[in-house]
Amino acid sequence: MTTMRALLTRRRHPVLRIQRRSIMLSTWATLAAGPSLVNYLFGNDTRMANAMDAGELHNKNDDYELQRRERVDSRLSQLRNSRPRTPRYEGNIPLYKHEKLLLFLISGIQSYFHPENGLNIVKLGEATAIAPFLNHLQQIMLQDPTGRRILRDKPFVHTSILHMDKLSKLPENTFGYTFYKWCKRENVGPDTRAPVKYIDDPTHAFIFRRYRQCHDFYHALVDMPIIIEGEITVKALEAANLGVPMAALGTIFAPWRLKHVQRERLFDTYIPWALKSGWNAKPFINVYWEELLEKDVNDLRRELGIKLPPDLRNVRKERASLIKQLKAPYSPKP
């Protein structure tokens, strides 16, 4: 009993501070030596000591320059291999599915708030150009002889090929002259289309590029200006005619940003017209616009199945002049 009590009440020997510290140090050293997070984070000195021990440090036989270059090359190749697959054409940036989703979300938000910045629309278009849609367009093109020719020739729309000055000399009823006049009126040119980046299959990328480059031809064909209402109308036309997902999104969401009067005009007249015309017309993707520049524009419209809508610019101008008249102070006629 007394020994028990003696044991229990035994006073602890004061451990020297330096001995206490060495216990901690040896613990840390053990932790640092083996594979552990601590070693990974803080074990530089231990690593160097181990390397020195093994004779790997300051080894005169090592070619440090070669080792450095190899390290840099391996890191660079890792950086370059950040894409899921190799690019399949010049300018292709393949994206992972989660990156494509991110592109869709970001460009969607940007396009809603800033549709005037063409880059946002471009990115949204490529993010939403899903494989079923592009396959569908490809089928449409393959089933038509002109479409097949377009796929074979892969025409590129550019002023050096279109020659705007030659178009200005064509007779006034031709499509080429209509296009030239429309371009001058809206102050744009045909070589203003961004290249395709995020669509991996080269044929699909060409088809989407063709769609993008022919957008201005559609504008000129239906004589729509490039103001937001005109753009929404043409987008509705493309959505109905070709089934472009981005055009459908634009037709549904874009009008909500407009003023009440613009929205009314769109919902009453222009969007119904665009949808009906688009559905009933022949697919525009199969039209070889470059060959039809000298064709009579009304013949072309009849063949495609398009009837012109009310001239948007005139409608707006009339309304503007009417409002101006109503706002002017009343002055009785003398």
Partner 1 sequence: MLGPVTISRPLLKGSRLARTSTLLRLLSSAPPSSPDSPTTTHFGSKTVPTTEKEKMVGHVFSSVASKYDIMNDVMSLGIHRLWKHHFINKLDPGMRRNSKQPLEFIDVAGGSGDIAFGILDYANEIHQDRVSKMDIVDINADMLKEGEKRAYELGRYYQDPRVRFMVQNGEKLEKIESNSKDIYTVSFGIRNFTNIQAGLNTAYRVLKPGGLFYCLEFSKIDNQLMDWGYQQWAKVLPVMGSVIADDFDSYQYLVESIERFPDQETFKSMIEKAGFKSVGYENLTSGVCAIHWGVKV
Going by the annotation, the residues of the binding site are 215-216, 219, 231
Among 56, 63, 73, 264, binds partner 1 (CB under 8 A): 73
d(CA 129, CA 97): 13
Among 36, 117, 168, 280, binds partner 1 (CB under 8 A): 117
Under rule CB under 8 A, residue 196 binds partner 1: yes
Span interacting with partner 1, options 12-20, 89-97, 135-143, 298-306, rule CB under 8 A? 89-97
Contact residues for 155 (Cβ-Cβ < 8 A; gap 6+): 161, 210, 288, 290
Among 99, 144, 201, 290, binds partner 1 (CB under 8 A): 99
Under rule CB under 8 A, residue 85 binds partner 1: no
Residue 43 burial (10 A CB sphere; 0-12, 13-18, 19+):
buried
CB of 280 to partner 1, least distance (A): 31
Say if residues 214 and 293 touch (Cβ distance below 8 Å).
Answer: no
Say if residues 157 and 191 touch (Cβ distance below 8 Å).
Answer: yes
Under rule CB under 8 A, residue 118 binds partner 1: yes
CB of 144 to partner 1, least distance (A): 22
Both tokens assigned to 242:
């070709």
CB of 73 to partner 1, least distance (A): 4
d(CA 217, CA 287): 10
Under rule CB under 8 A, residue 302 binds partner 1: no
Say if residues 196 and 93 touch (Cβ distance below 8 Å).
Answer: no
CB of 326 to partner 1, least distance (A): 34
Q: DSSP string of 137-156?
A: HHHHHHTSHHHHHHHHH---
Nearest one of 287, 102, 111, 128 to 208, comparing CA atoms: 128
d(CA 71, CA 165): 57
Under rule CB under 8 A, residue 112 binds partner 1: no
Under rule CB under 8 A, residue 67 binds partner 1: no
CB of 297 to partner 1, least distance (A): 24
Say if residues 109 and 207 touch (Cβ distance below 8 Å).
Answer: no
Under rule CB under 8 A, residue 119 binds partner 1: yes
Closest to partner 1 by CB, 147 vs 278, is 147
Under rule CB under 8 A, residue 5 binds partner 1: no
Under rule CB under 8 A, residue 195 binds partner 1: yes
Say if residues 309 and 273 touch (Cβ distance below 8 Å).
Answer: yes
d(CA 112, CA 123): 12
Span interacting with partner 1, options 24-32, 82-90, 130-138, 269-277, rule CB under 8 A? 82-90
- Binding positions for Zn(2+) are 215-216, 219, 231
d(CA 106, CA 208): 20
What mask, x for binding partner 1 by CB under 8 A, covers residues 200 to 239? --x--xx--x------------------------------
The site for partner 1 (CB under 8 A) is made up of: 40-41, 44, 68-69, 72-73, 75-80, 82, 89-91, 93, 95, 99, 102-103, 106-107, 117-119, 122-123, 154, 156, 158, 188-189, 191-197, 202, 205-206, 209
